[in-house]
Structure 1
């Protein structure tokens, strides 16, 4: 499995209704996309406490071919035409706990942490996987590893606004979830 995200930072005075409309209109187009476990259409608004206005979809792919087919397809071409050429972050998924019904998701959180040089990666993998396995009211809990940037990502989907998150976690509204 692979996790993938790209993010667009939008001006502070950007009309975020444009993003909400885009999600509403285009979100269902990826429902049933081959090899996609889920896509969360995410946005964050400066007026709601985010540091920036963001449009930042997050994906979990069952196989790299799904990601490749999406990135080389017409949907991604239209996105780059409308918003520009993003940096696409990817992580190898170490752990993914997904509820049976993700359609009730309303919020998401994403934490990215640096991996210290010379870390014991096997121990880190075990510790992060065990921590993610501990009971949580999240609908999804995904932990991924990127050895090119030496980072970990922890991405969670929520039905209700989470009560406590890490200080550097980015909180998002979820406008749509595309599922297999």
Structure 2
């Protein structure tokens, strides 16, 4: 599993209806995308849920590097580049994936939480990875969880935990996003549990 996200920070007075319309008209285009486990179309609005910015920040979980590369080098990502400029694409290698108790009911995603943590230089990396896995496994017992993932970028030594919820006010630490659409064509194929 590969986790990926890019953030497009927009002006404070930006009309976020433009992003909502974009997702409403184009979000379905990845609903059957090969290699894609899940894509959450995320926004933050300045002043909502503590956000200091307006931002469009989709988060992806890829089953295959071929699917991810096909998206990045194809017309999907080029559309982002054409409209907003080329954003930095953050990438993490997968540690674990879990689903919530009601995830088979195809719930409507409402919110997501992303928690990023720098891995201290003196941390025992294996122990930290195990702790991250245990934390998202605890999320899996929470009512309202659709799915959660943990991953690490070994270049920058940043860990990320990402969770998607079926209600608008999930509890947890991190940045809270509104989910405008969820494409999950191969979510069933994402490997469950610890991935090493």
TM tier, shorter chain?
Answer: over 0.9
SS class of match (2:12): coil
Q: How does 1:108-119 map to 2 (within 5 A)?
A: 108-119=112-123
Aligned to 2:188: none
Moved more, 93-102 or 29-38: 93-102
Question: Could you list the per-position Cα deviations for residues 12-66 of structure 1 after superposition, in whole angstroms to 9, with x for gaps in the alignment?
Answer: 0000000000010110011110010010000111042411000000000001111
Question: Could you list the per-position Cα deviations for residues 106-150 of structure 1 after superposition, in whole angstroms to 9, with x for gaps in the alignment?
Answer: 111101000001321111111111121112232111101101110
Structure 2: distance between partners of 1:125 and 1:131: 10
SS class of match (1:171): strand
> TM-score, normalised on structure 2?
0.87
CA contact (8 A) 1:114 1:150 kept: yes
With over 3 angstroms needed to count, the CA separation of the structure-2 counterparts of 1:70 and 1:163, relative to structure 1, is closer
Structure 2: distance between partners of 1:3 and 1:132: 15
Structure 2: distance between partners of 1:8 and 1:149: 20
Moved over 6 A (4+): none
Aligned to 1:175: 180
Structure 2: distance between partners of 1:3 and 1:102: 21
What is the CA-CA distance between 1:163 and the residue it aligns to? 4.6
* Structure 1: gaps spanning 5 or more residues: none
CA contact (8 A) 2:107 2:146 kept: no
Moved more, 96-105 or 4-13: 96-105
Q: How does 1:113-132 map to 2 (within 5 A)?
A: 113-132=117-136
The number of aligned residues is 178
Residue 10 of structure 2 corresponds to residue 10 of structure 1: yes
Structure 2: distance between partners of 1:172 and 1:102: 20
Residue 57 of structure 2 corresponds to residue 50 of structure 1: no
Q: How does 1:127-138 map to 2 (within 5 A)?
A: 127-134=131-138, 135-137=141-143, 138=145
Structure 2: distance between partners of 1:61 and 1:101: 22
* Structure 2: gaps spanning 5 or more residues: 186-196
CA contact (8 A) 1:103 1:177 kept: no
CA contact (8 A) 1:102 1:177 kept: no
> TM-score, normalised on structure 1?
0.94
CA contact (8 A) 2:107 2:166 kept: no
